[in-house]
Amino acid sequence: MRSLFNSLAVLTGLLTSVAVAVHPVEVQGQDFIDTVTKKRFMIVGVDYQPGGQAGYKPQENSDPLTNKDVCLRDAITLQKLGANTIRVYNVDPTLNHDDCASIFNSAGIYMIIDVNGPQSGESINRAEPWTSYHKDYLRRIFGVVENFKNYPNTLAFFSANEVMNDMDTGKVNPQYIRAVQRDLKAYIKAHSKRTIPVGYSAADVREILQDTWAYMQCDNDGDGSESDIFGLNSYSWCGGDATFQTAGYNTLVDMFENSSIPVFFSEYGCNEVMPRVFDEVAALYGDKMTALSGGLVYEYSQEESNYGLATIDEDGSVKLRKDFDALQAQFNKLDMSKIQATKPDATSIKAPKCDKKLITNDAFDTNFTLPAVCPGCQTLIQNGIDKPINGKLVKVLATKSPNKVYASSGSEVKNLALTLLSNDGVNTPSGETTSPADSDNAIPTADGSAAGESDKPGAATSKLAGGWTLLAATVIAVLTVL
Ligand SMILES: *[C@@H]1O[C@H](CO)[C@@H](O)[C@H](O)[C@H]1NC(C)=O
Ligand SMILES: *[C@@H]1O[C@H](CO)[C@@H](O)[C@H](O)[C@H]1NC(C)=O
């Protein structure tokens, strides 16, 4: 009897500690690759920073990934939308992000984390980069690595965002960004169990774009300072009349065709024509643009800049906007299995050696002698920072939305819940219409069934069935061992 109890205790312990986790994704040449399925990973993403910069409140112990109710509410709508990645701009490395990271992980959603913050000393100052590259700054960004390195759904870190935004800022900042990347990557190598890609998120300023990418991706005698990924904040496709040519996507393809690192839109979604129709989605994931690895729509929440997919009310309720409906419809049209097909040539591309000749514009930085590691920083890299706060996955228990969610028509979307992806899967477009145009929330489809806010039974059942098979197999395996 005693041993049966012990066995049961062990079994229960094992079962509760089994946390589902998305597969780590790694960079191979110009593609992201799922390390388990070996398929190509394409970013179908949304930028996520509710409250904008003001959503980062270290003095109140809060940032966009600290409130589990908020994360659950938004992970549910993002999952329905079809997103597989969020980008979060400002996090506090001293806070606990376990609940939020775990919720997004269970939803099959990866995170790209910017290591910087909006407050003084939390980023490189583009006017005088040498004044901001120091030990205290590195301690902060290494803290972000410590905080997020153990979450399997941490896809990448951004070392900087739009520091170079004109010819003037392109003169000397590039070498500082590479110095920061050198240190970040050395830190990850020394203190993380897996490699996590690091890269730069660039402004779409066409006069410096190619030089920025060329400077960041080249091999600088193997010093490890190169970008592993390249994000482009791209707003050139505006409205339903834009085309591949008028939006300049053809130029982007020419530029990045032979990139040795993944290139993707770290922001997109021009808002000059409202509501947005997101025709660029078909182009971005289409046959002509396979050199790019997808992108992230700017942005989840409606803020002053007027780019929101959803409006968050003070009472915590969310109203989906027409932009959400249009984007969901576009994502639903994507052929994910085609998009995830690998292209063998692309994964083996090697970076060119750094050389002045790679830079086309005279005024842009051609100095590849990087600033020396800042005073006291080498020790920090070797020994690690003091008292790091290391995140870890926790069990996700609640799945029902803690807040009301309204369709763009104004009616409430009922029975919203997170679908826990028990097969360690990545989220894919659901085929659903979360926010139907009419008010009763259940539009009959061609086959007579109701497509609405509820789960498509087929997909949900097969995921569940997979989960139970796994569970049964675990139980049998454990019992056999005991
Ligand atoms: C990319 O590589 C292919 C094959 O080597 C080459 O034909 C093409 O001209 C290259 N494109 C650019 C923009 O360098
Ligand atoms: C290149 O940058 C390094 C480090 O920032 C600096 O010491 C050196 O003087 C620069 N070289 C030139 C030619 O400007």
C-alpha 338 – ligand 2 centre gap (Å): 47
Report how far ligand 1's centroid is from the alpha carbon of 258 (Å). Answer: 6
Query: In whole angstroms, what is the distance from residue 26 CA to residue 155 CA?
Result: 8
For residue 437, is pLDDT > 80?
Answer: no
Per-residue pLDDT band at 438 (split at 50, 70, 90): low
Evaluate if residue 13 carries a pLDDT over 80.
Answer: no
Decide if 110 is inside a domain: yes
Mutate which of 217, 258, 259 to test ligand 1's pocket (most atoms within 8 Å of Cβ)? 258
- Ligand 1 atom 5: the closest Cα is on which residue? 258
Q: How does residue 381 score in pLDDT terms, banded at 50, 70 and 90? A: very high
Amino acid 20: pLDDT: 72
Q: Whose Cα sits closest to atom 13 in ligand 2? A: 367
Which ligand sits nearest to residue 352's alpha carbon? 1
The residue among 172, 261, 254 whose CA lies nearest residue 218 is 261
CB 193 within 8 A of CB 203: no
Closest CA to 73 of 61, 64, 84: 64
User: Which ligand is in closest contact with the Cα of 365?
Assistant: 2
Ligand 1 within 6 A of 162 CB?
no
- Tell me how far the alpha carbon of residue 171 lies from the centroid of ligand 2, in angstroms: 11
Lowest mean pLDDT among 55-59, 187-191, 432-436: 432-436
Say whether the peptide bond before residue 388 is cis (omega within 30 degrees of 0): no
Domain of residue 217, residue span: 23-383
Task: Give nearest CA residue, ligand 1 atom 2.
Answer: 258
Q: Is the CB of 175 under 6 A from ligand 2?
A: yes
Query: Closest by alpha carbon to 138, among 189, 201, 93, 183?
Result: 183
- Ligand with the closest atom to the CA of 256: 1
Question: For residue 73, what pLDDT band results from cuts at 50, 70 and 90?
Answer: very high
Catalytic, 267? Answer yes
Give catalytic status of residue 162 as yes or no: yes
Number of domains observed in the structure of the chain: 1
Nearest of 96, 94, 86 to residue 45 by alpha carbon: 86
Query: What is the model's pLDDT at position 452?
Result: 33
Q: Is the CB of 258 under 6 A from ligand 1?
A: yes
Ligand with minimal distance to 213 CA: 1
Tell me what pLDDT residue 261 has. Answer: 98
* Residues in Cβ contact with 216 at an 8 Å cutoff, skipping those fewer than 6 apart: 174, 177, 178, 199, 200, 226, 227, 230
Order of strands, edge to edge, in the sheet holding 31-34? 25-28, 31-34, 40-41
pLDDT, greater one: 437 or 69: 69
- Residue 77 CA, chain-centre distance (Å), reads 16
Residue 257 beta carbon below 6 angstroms from any ligand 1 atom: yes
In the predicted model, is pLDDT for residue 348 greater than 70? yes
pLDDT in the model for residue 301: 98
| pLDDT of 319 over the 70 cut | yes
Cα–Cα distance for residue pair 25/32, rounded to 1 Å: 6
For 3, counting Cβ atoms within 10 Å of its Cβ (0-12 exposed, 13-18 middle, 19+ buried), the class is: exposed
Q: Which two tokens stand for residue 228?
A: 């592993």
Q: What string of DSSP letters covers 107-170?
A: TT-EEEEE---SSTTSS--TT-HHHH-SHHHHHHHHHHHHHHTT-TTEEEEEEEES---STGGG
Give CA–CA dist 351/356, Å, rounded.
15
Ligand 2 atom nearest residue 130's Cα: 5
Catalytic option among 122, 267, 280, 303: 267
Give domain status of residue 79, yes or no: yes
Write down the pLDDT at residue 125. Answer: 97
How many CB atoms within 10 Å of residue 313?
Answer: 11
Most confident of the ranges 33-37, 420-424, 453-457, 470-474: 33-37
Q: Looking at this protein, which amino acid is placed at residue 337? A: S
Model pLDDT, residue 421: 85
| 396 in Cβ contact with 45 (< 8 Å) | no
Q: Is residue 471 part of a domain?
A: no
| Distance from the alpha carbon of residue 369 to the mean position of ligand 2, in angstroms | 6
Mean pLDDT of 179-204: 98
Mean pLDDT of 224-253: 97
Q: Using omega within 30 degrees of 0 as the cis cutoff, is the peptide bond preceding 128 cis?
A: no
Which numbered atom of ligand 1 lies nearest the CA of 254? 13
Residue nearest to atom 7 of ligand 1 (CA): 258
> Residue 440: which pLDDT band, with cuts at 50, 70 and 90?
very low
Residues 6+ apart with CB under 8 A from 343: 31, 40, 290
Mutate to test the pocket of ligand 2, among 367, 368, 370, 374 (most ligand atoms within 8 A of CB): 367
Q: Check residue 19 and give its pLDDT.
A: 58
Is 7 part of a structural domain of the chain?
no
What span, in angstroms and rounded, lies between the C-alpha atoms of 29 and 14? 38
DSSP state, residue 33: E
Give the number of other CB atoms < 10 A from CB of residue 217. 24
CA 367 to ligand 2 centroid distance, Å = 6
- The residue ranking higher by pLDDT, 450 or 338, is 338
Residue owning the nearest CA to atom 9 of ligand 2: 369
Taking the CA of residue 255 as reference, the ligand 1 atom at the shortest distance is 13
Does the pLDDT of residue 472 top 90, yes or no? no
Q: Is the pLDDT of residue 15 over 50?
A: no
Q: Which helix (H) or strand (E) holds 319?
A: strand 318-320
Of 228, 196, 232, 198, nearest to 212 (Cα)?
232
- Ligand 1 centroid–CA 97 distance in Å is 43
pLDDT in tens, 137-158: 999 999 999 999 999 999 999 9
Beta bridge partners of 295: 44, 265
SS3 288: helix
pLDDT at 462: 32
CB of 369 closer than 6 A to ligand 2? yes
**Is residue 7 over pLDDT 60?**
no
Q: How far apart are CA 254 and CA 317, in angstroms?
A: 44
Return mean pLDDT, the chain.
89
Most confident of 1-10, 11-20, 163-172, 450-459: 163-172
Q: Which of 73-82, 106-115, 312-321, 432-441 has the lowest mean pLDDT?
A: 432-441
Please check whether residue 369 lies inside any domain of the structure.
yes
CA distance 463 to 124: 45
Q: How far apart are CA 226 and CA 185, in angstroms?
A: 9
Residue 358 Cα to ligand 1 middle (Å): 15
Domain CATH number, residue 77: 3.20.20.80
Query: Which residues, listed in sequence order, are joined to residue 201 by a DSSP beta bridge?
Result: 161, 231
Asked if residue 227 belongs to a domain, the reply is yes
The whole-model pTM stands at 0.88
pLDDT per residue over 109-123, tens digit each?
A: 999 999 999 999 999
| Contacts of residue 467, Cβ cutoff 8 Å, sequence gap at least 6 | 420, 422, 423
User: How far apart are the C-alpha atoms of 13 and 258, rounded to whole Å?
Assistant: 49
Calculate mean pLDDT across residues 274-283. Answer: 98
The pLDDT, as a whole number, for residue 9 is 43
- Asked if the structure places residue 105 within a domain, the reply is yes
**Could you tell me which of 183, 139, 136 has the C-alpha nearest to residue 159?**
183
**Residue among 30, 210, 257 to mutate when testing ligand 1 (max atoms within 8 A of CB):** 257
Instruction: Please state, for a pLDDT cut of 70, what percent of the chain lies above it.
Output: 87
- Please report, in angstroms and rounded to a whole number, the separation of the first and last CA atoms in the chain: 14
Give how far Cα 25 sits from Cα of 28, 423, 426, Å: 10, 16, 11
Mean pLDDT of 429-434: 92
Residue 376 pLDDT exceeds 70: yes
- The gap from C-alpha 186 to its chain's centroid, in whole angstroms, comes to 22
Give residue 256 CA to ligand 1 midpoint distance, Å.
10
pLDDT at 465: 34
pLDDT at 464: 32
Ligand 2, atom 8, residue with closest C-alpha: 369
Measure 349 CA to ligand 1 centroid, in angstroms. 11
